[in-house]
Each structure stands twice: as structure tokens, then as C-alpha cells.
Amino acid sequence: MLIDAITKAELKTSGEIRVHIENFSFGNAIKSAEKIFTKLGMHQTKARNGVLIYIAALSRKVAVVGDEGIHRELGDEFWKKLVERLISQFKADRKAEALAACIIECGEQLGKFFPRSTDDKDELSNTISY
């Protein structure tokens, strides 16, 4: 379901979306997410438009981080809203649906600034990393 959502979202944009799920994040979730972002080589996209949705399930933490190309276009506010919505839906216990909706929303927003071209490459795997 999540992989399908990523594949679908990336049909609208050259941006690359990934999801990483782990049990615990000690400390700041954004810092953890940035570490994973680098570890997954997500800063190597051509347009610097990778987005990582980071979930620390047992620590109940969520963060969304985007590369510098995206940051320039979308700013902090967009991520904050996205994370807030995701967290409130997580509490309602519709986790997979909430995450899929978040992925689709990312694709829509990214598409405004990074439309997909006909020769788009899938620069980062759509699989979930753990």
C-alpha cells in the first residue's frame, strides 16, 4: 500500500519520496531523520528534491525532511503542517492510510515545483526502509 502510494505520488513529480520506519528515536526526530536521509544517499538526486518521511513507531515520533532544492521552494511551514496532520491521524489509529495520504500530498506539492518529465528516472527506490 505504501509502496503503491510512493509510486503513484512520483508519477506527478521528479521528486523522490522515501519512507523509513524504525522503533526508536532517541532525541530529536528531525536529527534522526537527517541522519537516515544521508545514510540512504538521498542527497544525491539531480534536483536535490528527495523527501524522507521518518517514523519512529515506538517512540511515537514523526519527521519529514526534504533536500535543499525543496526547502528553497516550499519552506518550513509546509513540512510543519504535513507532520501535524500526520500525527493527528496517527492518533486516530489509521496509520497506513494516514501515511499513504501524506505521501500523495507530498507528490502533489512537489509536482508544483518539480514536475515530472517524460524521461524521469526513479532515482531512489520506492521501497520502505527499516
Question: Interaction with Ca ion in 108-127: which residues (CB under 5 A)?
Answer: 120, 122, 124, 126
Taking alpha carbons only, the member of 112, 99, 1, 11 closest to residue 57 is 99
Give how far Cα 18 sits from Cα of 43, 59, 91, 92, Å: 12, 20, 22, 23
Between 55 and 124, whose beta carbon lies closer to Ca ion? 124
All three cell numbers of 114: 518539480
Residues in the interface with Ca ion (CB under 5 A) total 5
Distance of CA 96 to the CA centre of its chain: 14
Distance of closest approach, residue 89 Cβ to Ca ion, in angstroms: 23
Distance of closest approach, residue 52 Cβ to Ca ion, in angstroms: 12
Binding to Ca ion by CB under 5 A, coded x per residue (else -) over 63-92, reads ------------------------------
Question: Interaction with Ca ion in 7-66: which residues (CB under 5 A)?
Answer: 16
Query: What does the radius of gyration of the chain's CA atoms come to, in whole angstroms?
Result: 13
In the complex, the residues that contact Ca ion under the rule CB under 5 A are: 16, 120, 122, 124, 126
